[in-house]
Amino acid sequence: MAPALPQIHDEVFLDERRKIRQRLRRLRKFASAESGFPSALGSLVACADEIEGLLPVLSEHYAHAERIYFSAWDPDDERGEWRRKGEEILAEHQPLIRELRALHDSARRVIDALRAGQSAGSLAEALKAYLSACVQDLVEHEARESAFFES
């Protein structure tokens, strides 16, 4: 296993990770049935706002993780498993960002429909369930990324 990367002690990187975990916890709560919002509309508005704040932090964090990985990467190094695992983790970044952006766009469309008086309640509930699954994917990714960078 590769030695711990020295950049993991980078305070900016660690702060990004903290902000991401905090936003994911809020997003998970807002999308849950126990969100405390009296309507699906209120819950979706909070989710969309949280996603809007999460996307730039997540994008910068992923770019930062890639810079850290490639600064430590040595093409002559024989740590094939370490490189494979790192590339696997980095390959998850763009699909996760795309999925979150798509959910944000969908949430905004459902919000507009609900505000226009259309009956989109079941669509809102389905979207919240999908959003919860996306949050779980992000949480799991962050755990794998953290274990990789701290290995």
State pLDDT tens for residues 19-33. 999 999 999 999 988
Work out the number of other CB atoms within 10 angstroms of the CB of residue 50: 23
User: 17: which residues sit within 8 A by CB, 6+ positions away?
Assistant: 61, 142, 146
Single pTM value for the model? 0.86
Q: Could you tell me if residue 12 is inside a domain? A: yes
- Whether residue 41 is contained in a domain is answered as yes
Residue 91 lies in a domain: yes
For residue 114, pLDDT over 70 is answered with yes
- At residue 4, does pLDDT exceed 60? no
The answer to whether residue 1 is domain-embedded is no
> How many domains, in total, are found in the chain?
1
- Rounded to whole angstroms, how far apart are CA atoms 132 and 31? 6
pLDDT band at 127 (very low <50, low <70, confident <90, very high): very high
Residue 31 burial (C-beta neighbours within 10 Å; 0-12, 13-18, 19+): buried
Residue with tokens 């494979």: 84
Which residue segment(s) compose the domain that 50 sits in? 6-149
Place of tokens 């989109």: 120
Residue 75 falls within a domain, yes or no? yes
pLDDT value of residue 11:
83
Look at residue 3 and tell me whether its pLDDT is greater than 70.
Answer: no
Q: Is the pLDDT of residue 143 over 70?
A: yes
Helices 93-115/80-91 angle, 10° precision: 20
| Tokens 């979150």 found at | 100
Q: Which amino acid is at 110?
A: V
Q: Which is more confidently placed, 136 or 8?
A: 136
For residue 76, the Cα-to-chain-centroid distance in whole angstroms is 32
